[in-house]
Chains A and B, each alone.
Chain A
Amino acid sequence: MSLRILVGCKRVIDYAVKIRVKPDKSGVITEGVKHSMNPFDEIAIEEAVRMKEKKIAKEIVAFSCGPTQCQETLRTALAMGADRGIHVEVSGPEYETLQPLHISKMLAKLAKDEQIDLIIVGKQAIDDDCNQTAQMTAALLGWPQATSASKIEAKDGSLQVVREIDGGLETIKVKLPSVVSADLRLNEPRYATLPNIMKAKKKPIKKLAPKDLGIDVSPRIQVVTVEEPPVRQAGAKVENVDAVVEKLKALGHA
């Protein structure tokens, strides 16, 4: 097998950062805040690189959509082992209202243009937790999907994927081309080493605008307000189950 894999890498606020809401409640503070690649996307890239090392894949294309700084995210992907990058530049208010549907359309178009055999994305992004992009992309392409993958095995023209579902683990077989979304236990991503980062500088990153792919990114939603979650209230102790039910009824929850 010699697959060409497309991997989606989203630039998100780093998981360790304390999120703060803007004073005007229009969003969260992103300026001057540390950003990095969405951890699930790191897992996706790692899986693609491992497939390339096993000679199952022949080329890995990393994709990111967003402002100029997404180039740094792509550089990390290239340092981990991707061969080339595609950056679709969207910034400003359009970026604030970008939705998984827009990204799915981009992935679908690129899959056709670049003759992709397999799309791997993280199962969700840690900023919006949507968990929609893989599914929508597959639907747009009419391709089979395997989401929340914790193990992928390539076997004669198709993939055997173990999925983490509520009830436990489900093993399915999907024919290629297909879309897979990576879950936490799929693998442990390698550290980008400094020599690889320097070598990655020579790998190409193609820059595109959404209209180059025929995609309209004008907003379909409007953010009304963004607020911090309410401060946690103190709890109350009760004697027995009946008292619990009484309290719940009084609070209007039952």
Chain B
Amino acid sequence: MLRSGRNLQVLSKNVVRENLRLLSSTPQPSPKDGTKKVATGRTLDKKPVKSSSFVMNLFIGSSNTAQVFPFPDGLNTEQKETLGVLVDPVQKFFEEVNDAAINDSQSAVPEATIQGLRELGAFGLQAPVEYNGVGLNNTQYARLVETVGGFDLGVGIFLGAHQSIGFKGITLFGTEEQKKKYLPKVATGEQFAAFCLTEPSSGSDANSIRTRAVLSPDGKHFILNGSKIWISNGGFAEVMTVFAQTPITDPSTGETKDKVTAFIVERKFGGVTSGPPEKKMGIKCSNTAEVYYDNVPVPIENVLGGVGQGFKVAMNILNNGRFGMAAALSGTMKASTKAAIQHATARVQFGRRIDSYGAIQEKLARMAMLHYVTESMAYMISSNMDKGSTDFQLEAAISKVFASEAAWNVTDEAIQILGGNGFMSANGLEKVLRDLRIFRIFEGTNDILRLFVALTGLQFAGGHLKQLQKAVKSGNVGVILGEAAKRAKRTVGLRQSNSLSEVHPKLALQAQLTSKAVEGFGITVESLLIKHGKNILDEQFLLNRVAAAAIDIYANVVVLSRATRALNMNISSANHEEMLARVWCNEALDRIQLNLTAVKSQSQLSNFSTMSQIAKEMCEHGGLIQQNPLGI
């Protein structure tokens, strides 16, 4: 026994040292005996950062299922009953009063409809009841915006820009006085709100904004100067959350630096003007305008969340509202899919109903799976938020990326199924597709969010790796042995832990393979960190592969959880859901494999550097380099 233990110790030290010497992890010879379970040693002096987020832990190859299994229920019985009564009036309003086609053709929401929305209470769904709001929690809000998303995304953005980001900052970071002053009027829709961050030279790079707020000589106001573009509700909002650079002096060093601060700015402060409504591809009835601030005096009481905290305020507001997008878009997908099915089951060509053809069947099945994943993500995240979780930023980002791309694909395919009819305005689907395009761009472009997921996860994994390196340096035997055993098990091919064991037996295979994928992901991440260190920041080709794999793994886990719940509860859709989950997982696992091997494959890496070269030459040339083959 001792002998094998010593072998293990010697072997493990080698494994760890090899890794630390930055050599790629080649398979090590398996230990003589089976691995011994090693007791955890003394803890380090500094505890590694812990997270309850599944995606975060994915990056260290660990399946933390606290927020994923069982599929969370964000509503108690009373809340569910209330929600049941709320859905109908919203649905009726959008069926009978709101006219999405007219809103689109007029590029405006008629005043009568706006008044109807006010009476419905649609402008303050999540605002607290004491401030004239409806007081809904995230899950209830998600269900209602799902209805809105199925009818009119333009109105959805009008409502969302107002409450999901426009005055959300006041709800999240406002003082009691600020809440009392502003919430009552915006919650009823008497006044409208807007979120003012983007500038001509600052989109994704939010910290680089140039709008400035400088303290007045008497210290009672900040004087605001600058301009914002593409602000939803910018043309008429009375209450705006505005982000500006403020000079902050460090008391200890006397150094002055610019930091972003969030302000509540009222149009009536004076100096606020806005431009004409922008003409857009879609969400036409949602007002988008430039807003200019010319020496606007903002009382210091209107600082939101503290001076210099603006970036954090902005990211929190956006993070807090992201689940809403997935919910709304699952409503949109439901409607598009329904239109596709109605057509496919009626249309006859070549003597057969077209839904009997495999090509159409594949389209419909993929539409259903994309919807299933999106819907499951939306409600899992909203339920976790309602249960008090604060660790959901990666999941929220993933849900936004996934939902926006899924909805585009689903609606695009629905148009395809409808053929020529799908292209005609009278049908309505082309408007939905136009409306959908912006969802991949605003509220954090999908490209940025992918990098954000990859880098945040890598940072977390890097932190853990650092702790491990420290432990090795300090000779902390317990940690070394623990890690070594983990790695030895990996190389031998034994499963680390009984992860994803709560999945229903019918989906056990998919669960097992996904579990393996989690471990493989962790290994890939670690090898990337060891190979590139801090330079991984610049390796966007690799980061995108990592992000894609992370998204697929999370999607798998989400649908496995949802389908398990359906099967355990034996609901009528359980068998259908099991099929959706099974096919989704099977295909996703192939993609995950592809992406994880791509970051290490010599041929792929060579492709990536070649593509960089291609892009470089194109940009130097100012266009495509290949000429017409005719040479003319």
Question: Are A197 and B120 closer than 8 Å at their CB atoms?
Answer: no
Main secondary structure of the interface of B (DSSP, over half): helix
Q: Within the complex, which residue of B84, B121, B135 is in contact with A193, where a contact is CB–CB below 8 Å?
A: B121
Binding stretch for chain A, among B87-95, B256-264, B425-433, B558-566? B87-95
**For A152, what are the chain B residues with a Cβ–Cβ distance below 8 Å?**
none
Given A75-B85, A198-B82, answer yes or no on A191-B92 (Cβ-Cβ < 8 Å).
yes
| B81-118 interface with A by 8 A CB criterion | 81-82, 84-86, 88-90, 92-93, 97, 116
Q: Which residue of A lies closest to B92 (CB)?
A: A191
Question: Are B572 and A197 closer than 8 Å at their CB atoms?
Answer: no
Report if A53 contacts B (CB, 8 A).
Answer: no
Report if A32 contacts B (CB, 8 A).
Answer: yes
Least distance between B454 CB and chain A CB atoms (Å): 40
Question: Are B120 and A194 closer than 8 Å at their CB atoms?
Answer: yes
**For B89, what are the chain A residues with a Cβ–Cβ distance below 8 Å?**
191-194, 197
Docked CA distance A79–B121 (Å): 13
A98-115 toward B: CB 8 Å interface, digit per residue (1/0)?
000000000000000000
Report if A195 contacts B (CB, 8 A).
Answer: yes
Least distance between A150 CB and chain B CB atoms (Å): 22
Q: Within the complex, which residue of A32, A36, A194 is in contact with B86, where a contact is CB–CB below 8 Å?
A: A194
Question: Are A197 and B85 closer than 8 Å at their CB atoms?
Answer: yes
Question: Are B120 and A191 closer than 8 Å at their CB atoms?
Answer: yes
Report if B129 contacts A (CB, 8 A).
Answer: yes
Report if A76 contacts B (CB, 8 A).
Answer: yes
Least distance between A205 CB and chain B CB atoms (Å): 12
Report if B272 contacts A (CB, 8 A).
Answer: no
Question: Are A36 and B88 closer than 8 Å at their CB atoms?
Answer: yes
Q: Which residue of A lies closest to B97 (CB)?
A: A191
**For A197, what are the chain B residues with a Cβ–Cβ distance below 8 Å?**
82, 85-86, 89
| A154-211 interface with B by 8 A CB criterion | 191-198, 201
**For B229, what are the chain A residues with a Cβ–Cβ distance below 8 Å?**
none
Question: Are B134 and A195 closer than 8 Å at their CB atoms?
Answer: yes
Q: Within the complex, which residue of B81, B82, B93, B572 is in contact with A191, where a contact is CB–CB below 8 Å?
A: B93
Question: Are A201 and B121 closer than 8 Å at their CB atoms?
Answer: no
Report if B119 contacts A (CB, 8 A).
Answer: yes
**For A192, what are the chain B residues with a Cβ–Cβ distance below 8 Å?**
85, 88-89
Question: Are B90 and A198 closer than 8 Å at their CB atoms?
Answer: no
Given A75-B85, A79-B85, answer yes or no on A194-B125 (Cβ-Cβ < 8 Å).
yes
**For A198, what are the chain B residues with a Cβ–Cβ distance below 8 Å?**
82, 129, 134-135
Report if A246 contacts B (CB, 8 A).
Answer: no
| A49-73 interface with B by 8 A CB criterion | 71-72
Report if B122 contacts A (CB, 8 A).
Answer: yes
Task: Among B88, B116, B120, B122, find the residue whose CB has the most chain A CB atoms closer than 10 A.
Answer: B88
Task: Among B85, B89, B90, find the residue whose CB has the most chain A CB atoms closer than 10 A.
Answer: B85
**For A36, what are the chain B residues with a Cβ–Cβ distance below 8 Å?**
88
Count of A-B residue pairs with CB < 8 Å = 46
| A123-176 interface with B by 8 A CB criterion | none
Docked CA distance A193–B89 (Å): 7
Given A194-B121, A194-B125, answer yes or no on A32-B85 (Cβ-Cβ < 8 Å).
no
Task: Among B89, B93, B97, find the residue whose CB has the most chain A CB atoms closer than 10 A.
Answer: B89
Question: Are A193 and B120 closer than 8 Å at their CB atoms?
Answer: yes
Least distance between A106 CB and chain B CB atoms (Å): 24
B134-148 toward A: CB 8 Å interface, digit per residue (1/0)?
110000000000000
Q: Which residue of B lies closest to A192 (CB)?
A: B89
Q: Which residue of A lies closest to B116 (CB)?
A: A191
A23-34 toward B: CB 8 Å interface, digit per residue (1/0)?
000000000100
Question: Are B81 and A72 closer than 8 Å at their CB atoms?
Answer: yes
Given A32-B572, A36-B88, answer yes or no on A194-B81 (Cβ-Cβ < 8 Å).
no
Docked CA distance A72–B78 (Å): 11
**For A75, what are the chain B residues with a Cβ–Cβ distance below 8 Å?**
81, 85
Least distance between A122 CB and chain B CB atoms (Å): 18
Docked CA distance A196–B134 (Å): 9
**For B135, what are the chain A residues with a Cβ–Cβ distance below 8 Å?**
198
Docked CA distance A32–B85 (Å): 15
Least distance between B342 CB and chain A CB atoms (Å): 13
**For B84, what are the chain A residues with a Cβ–Cβ distance below 8 Å?**
72
Q: Which residue of A lies closest to B129 (CB)?
A: A198
Question: Are B120 and A72 closer than 8 Å at their CB atoms?
Answer: no
Question: Are B119 and A193 closer than 8 Å at their CB atoms?
Answer: yes
**For B120, what are the chain A residues with a Cβ–Cβ distance below 8 Å?**
191, 193-194
Docked CA distance A195–B134 (Å): 5
B59-90 toward A: CB 8 Å interface, digit per residue (1/0)?
00000000000000000000001101110111
**For A79, what are the chain B residues with a Cβ–Cβ distance below 8 Å?**
85
Question: Are A72 and B85 closer than 8 Å at their CB atoms?
Answer: yes
A residues apposed to B, CB below 8 Å: 32, 36, 71-72, 75-76, 79, 191-198, 201
24 contacts between A and B (CB under 8 A): A71-B81, A72-B81, A72-B84, A76-B85, A76-B88, A191-B89, A191-B92, A191-B97, A191-B116, A191-B120, A192-B85, A192-B88, A192-B89, A193-B89, A194-B90, A194-B122, A194-B125, A195-B132, A197-B85, A197-B86, A197-B89, A198-B129, A198-B135, A201-B82
Query: Which 8 pairs from chain A and chain B are nearest by CB?
Result: A194-B121, A195-B121, A194-B134, A192-B89, A75-B85, A193-B121, A191-B89, A193-B120
* Known A76-B85, A195-B121; 20 more pairs at CB < 8 Å: A32-B572, A36-B88, A71-B81, A72-B81, A75-B81, A76-B88, A191-B97, A191-B116, A191-B120, A192-B88, A193-B119, A194-B90, A194-B120, A194-B121, A194-B122, A194-B134, A197-B82, A197-B85, A197-B89, A198-B82
